[in-house]
Amino acid sequence: SAVISQKPSRDICQRGTSLTIQCQVDSQVTMMFWYRQQPGQSLTLIATANQGSEATYESGFVIDKFPISRPNLTFSTLTVSNMSPEDSSIYLCSGKDRGRQETQYFGPGTRLLVL
Amino acid sequence: AQSVTQLGSHVSVSEGALVLLRCNYSSSVPPYLFWYVQYPNQGLQLLLKYTSAATLVKGINGFEAEFKKSETSFHLTKPSAHMSDAAEYFCAVSLNAGNMLTFGGGTRLMVKP
């Protein structure tokens, strides 16, 4: 199975600032995703990170607020821009294993608190 | 389109008792089904998955789930709960290997001594 790491693991930020979250996978994955998990809730897909091109965003999420990069097969970043307290969530990176494409593995998450 | 419903946002059992977490899905085609577990302050860990092979799927930590097409269900069970099973459990569905996951609302399992 793919091993996925994220940095930072948690952060406390001031409103109006931006935070970039990094996701590193230890092996090649076919697809990478970014999810948001608001307090006490389930996971919501933000976008699919596409290698070398613009991410594909889900309804309700826009590139200006959540710019995403994926420069190669094993690395992606998510930026939460111009943060407000409503952005306080856990942000999780995930990837589909190249060998078992039906299976999605998740990173440990980044816990963000915006004051 | 697919959707997942988890009945019961909170389930409490005694240590040693049967664990039953319910998941019903809606899908236009035979789906792939997954159970993930999230321990406190951690990410999601795959417990088990159904991908159109055996309908009874065994996963890690003694958990298993049975795919019942007639009931559109994929309930998660464990014969005997352990204190370490206390966590949030998520059921998820995808239409095919290349499709994205849709998650249920999650069920928080509490285990009483």
Identity of the residue in A43, A103, A107 whose CB atom sits nearest the CB atom of B46? A103
Instruction: Give the model's pLDDT for residue A28.
Output: 72
**pLDDT higher than 90, residue B61:** yes
Instruction: Give the model's pLDDT for residue B97.
Output: 65
Whether B43 has its CB under 8 Å from any CB of chain A: the answer is yes
Provide the shortest C-alpha distance from residue A103 to chain B (in Å). Answer: 8
DSSP one-letter string for A3-41: -EEEE-SEEEE-TT--EEEEEEESS-EEEEEEEEE-TT-
Inter-chain touch A92–B44, beta carbons under 8 Å:
yes
CB A30 within 8 A of CB A88: no
Paired strand residues for B23? none
Which of A78-87, A92-101, B60-69, B100-109 is least confident?
A92-101
Identity of the residue in A102, A106, A111 whose CB atom sits nearest the CB atom of B44? A106
**pLDDT higher than 90, residue A1:** no
Instruction: Give the model's pLDDT for residue B54.
Output: 84
Going by their DSSP bridges, the two strands B107-112 and B10-14 should be labelled as parallel
**pLDDT higher than 90, residue B103:** yes
**pLDDT higher than 90, residue A111:** yes
Instruction: Give the model's pLDDT for residue B46.
Output: 92
